[in-house]
Structure 1
Amino acid sequence: MQQIKYLVITALLFLSALVSSQAQNISFGFKAGLSNVSIDGPLESTSSGMELESYKANRAFILSLLLNVNLTDEFTLLTEFMYNQKGYNYSYKGPSYAILRTPDTKYTFSGNRDMSINISNTYFQIPVSLSYKLFNRIQLQGGAYGSLLVSSTGAGRVIYSELAEVIGEVEQTLNYNYRSNKPGGVAPANQQIRINNEPELIASQVNAYHDFEEKDKGLFRTFDAGLHAGLNLFINQSLFVGARYSHGLMDITRNSVDHSYQGLDQGKLRFSDDDDRYSAWEFTIGFSF
């Protein structure tokens, strides 16, 4: 990770020097559009091979300011300053555990979990591309990006069923802020359930680290980097539409916080060393001055 950070910083310093030397060949622009983001990474499954986890791509908004350094008539160094939302849906369905907290007690049960959450991570991203223009209409491009996480939230619900000593199903709303939520955090206990046939109050809403007793950092890493390739089609000299594919080079989650939902290890969370990376398509419309 450190090597990738140094590489991105070196590239940006090189870009600054190049922009200074080519100041007379600079042009500007902007673009906006939608991205379709998914996660590439291993999925939990049962011993029989049934997959318990799934990721689905969600559309998200992007907005970018463009800085073009024209090296020749065909080659351009393109830098973007981008507001980039990366959203996706995560779901888990199958055997799991449930941690339920009353004002006085923490209960741990085995059972089934049906969980679905839409995650939205917002980044300040700087893609740098070398582009080549064909027939004065088609602009092919390829390069790399570095990005900083600005906000990270999630919203969804979880339903627990077949919990020993709990009558019926238990449903809780998920309201996550991965950057600011505290371990063990819950909303006020306002939902009544029956445990051992006794009424108990638990929260109807929980935060991102409800299952944790302690943690040092958030689930998602602050820095990400990757590669991209795409093309722009110019409708006239200034107006263009574009498509681009990008793929991350880094694990976006911290192994010390990324835990398994399939079960506990002697009552404690089990953490994984999964390598989860972004995969995204971007579709934009823009204007170059």
Structure 2
Amino acid sequence: MKNFLVLCCFLLSSLSTALFAQIDARFGFKAGANLGTIIGPAEENDQGESLDGYSWATKVHISATVEVPINERIGLAAELGFSQRGSRYRFEADNAYLSIPELSETFEGQSRVKSVNITNGYVEIPILFYVRPIKDKLQLDFGPSFSFLVSSRGLGILKYGDLSEDAVLGDDFVEINLDHSYLTDAAGELNSDFTRTGQLDQRSITYPADLGGYYFFDEKDGPAYRYFDMGLNFGASYYFTKGLRMGARAYYGLLDITNNNYDIEQQRLDDNRNFILRDDFDRNFSLQFFVGLQF
């Protein structure tokens, strides 16, 4: 990490020097799609089988760009933009639990399925070194990115109970909508009243239709996803004309993006029926596809 920070400082210093020394900087913009996911360890059952995981999700990005050539083949570039990253998360397990604080009750021993589409929006600043092995046509670039979280949302659903194919909502299981605004939701917050009825453990219950991001927690200690992320970019662009290009770029996160205060096991509780905290390292990974113009 120390060597990486030294490289970042060198690139920033070089770019600043070049910006003031050169008069032929080229400005432009780019936009496209981010195909992203989150890489991290999975929760496992007693048999060592994975219970959850992240899958790919499509997001968007747009940014302003500047390129400062050092000579005809190499140069430095920087961007300032808005980039969405995230993933589709799914947990599925038998013999799991569900806590409903207002009922002062924890149900155990039935199936639990949780599915959430996570979208994190960042103000992103990549600092890149580029080389053109084929003059005016092919450009390769690499370098660090610094990202600052400005929006964070999760939309999905939570089901608990008898989730067999012939089960009927309201009789055998409960189904709760998840609408998480991770930056603004408060601890224990509901997004609706207790408007749904169902049956669990052979008794009728009333439960909420929509839950906030921290409903299951008594206190909020920061957002679920960290405000700062840093990673490495590796990309390539093809110029159809001097200004029009199309390209792709891979982003590999170097930091843990999740707040471990909310990283809990979803199948098991401890002996005192409290949450079991995990210490997972979850990083962003994305493939970016874009079209850009340079002037």
Judge same fold: TM > 0.5, yes or no.
yes
Question: TM-score, normalised to structure 1's length?
Answer: 0.91
What residue is the counterpart of 2:166 in the other structure?
Answer: none
Query: Matched residues in 2 for 1:190 and 1:141: separation?
Result: 54
Query: Matched residues in 1 for 2:104 and 2:281: separation?
Result: 31
Q: What amino acid is aligned across from residue 151 of structure 1 in structure 2?
A: S
1:52–1:93: 8 Å Cα contact kept in structure 2? yes
Query: Matched residues in 2 for 1:8 and 1:192: separation?
Result: 58
Shift of residue 25 of structure 1?
Answer: 2.7
Query: Matched residues in 1 for 2:286 and 2:19: separation?
Result: 32
Query: Matched residues in 1 for 2:123 and 2:81: separation?
Result: 6
Query: Matched residues in 2 for 1:282 and 1:93: separation?
Result: 29
Query: Matched residues in 2 for 1:139 and 1:195: separation?
Result: 60
1:147 aligns with 2:147: yes
What residue is the counterpart of 2:160 in the other structure?
Answer: 160
1:204 aligns with 2:203: no
Return 43-52 or 53-62, whichever deviates more: 43-52
Query: Matched residues in 2 for 1:234 and 1:45: separation?
Result: 47
What residue is the counterpart of 1:46 in the other structure?
Answer: 45
Structure 1 residue ranges (4+ consecutive) displaced by more than 3 angstroms after TM superposition: 3-13, 194-200
Q: What amino acid is aligned across from residue 38 of structure 2 in structure 1?
A: I
Q: How many residue pairs get matched?
A: 284
1:238 aligns with 2:236: no
2:145–2:232: 8 Å Cα contact kept in structure 1? yes
1:181 aligns with 2:185: yes
Query: Matched residues in 1 for 2:132 and 2:8: separation?
Result: 27
Query: Matched residues in 1 for 2:12 and 2:248: separation?
Result: 27
Gaps of 5+ in 1: none
Q: Secondary structure at the match of 1:256?
A: helix
Q: Secondary structure at the match of 1:261?
A: strand
1:169 aligns with 2:173: yes
Shift of residue 43 of structure 1?
Answer: 0.6
Return 88-97 or 199-208, whichever deviates more: 199-208
1:274 aligns with 2:280: yes
1:101–1:202: 8 Å Cα contact kept in structure 2? no
What residue is the counterpart of 1:286 in the other structure?
Answer: 292
Query: Matched residues in 2 for 1:281 and 1:201: separation?
Result: 43
Shift of residue 212 of structure 1?
Answer: 0.8
The 1:91/1:11 distance shift into structure 2, 3 A limit, reads: farther
The 1:285/1:48 distance shift into structure 2, 3 A limit, reads: same
Question: TM-score, normalised to structure 2's length?
Answer: 0.89
* Per-residue deviation, residues 34-91 of structure 1 (Å, max 9, x unmatched): 0110111111111212211021111111101101111111111010112101131000
Shift of residue 230 of structure 1?
Answer: 1.1
Q: What amino acid is aligned across from residue 76 of structure 1 in structure 2?
A: G
The 1:52/1:61 distance shift into structure 2, 3 A limit, reads: same
The 1:267/1:12 distance shift into structure 2, 3 A limit, reads: farther
The 1:120/1:201 distance shift into structure 2, 3 A limit, reads: same
Return 246-255 or 23-32, whichever deviates more: 23-32
The 1:74/1:13 distance shift into structure 2, 3 A limit, reads: closer
2:57–2:86: 8 Å Cα contact kept in structure 1? yes
Percent sequence identity over matched residues? 29
1:26–1:67: 8 Å Cα contact kept in structure 2? yes
Shift of residue 143 of structure 1?
Answer: 0.6
The 1:100/1:8 distance shift into structure 2, 3 A limit, reads: farther
- Please give the root-mean-square deviation of Cα atoms over the aligned residues, in Å: 2.3
Return 120-129 or 110-119, whichever deviates more: 110-119
Query: Matched residues in 1 for 2:201 and 2:267: separation?
Result: 24
Q: Secondary structure at the match of 1:260?
A: strand
Shift of residue 129 of structure 1?
Answer: 0.8
Q: What amino acid is aligned across from residue 94 of structure 1 in structure 2?
A: A
Query: Matched residues in 2 for 1:135 and 1:16: separation?
Result: 23
Query: Matched residues in 2 for 1:282 and 1:238: separation?
Result: 19
Q: What amino acid is aligned across from residue 272 of structure 1 in structure 2?
A: R
Gaps of 5+ in 2: 164-169
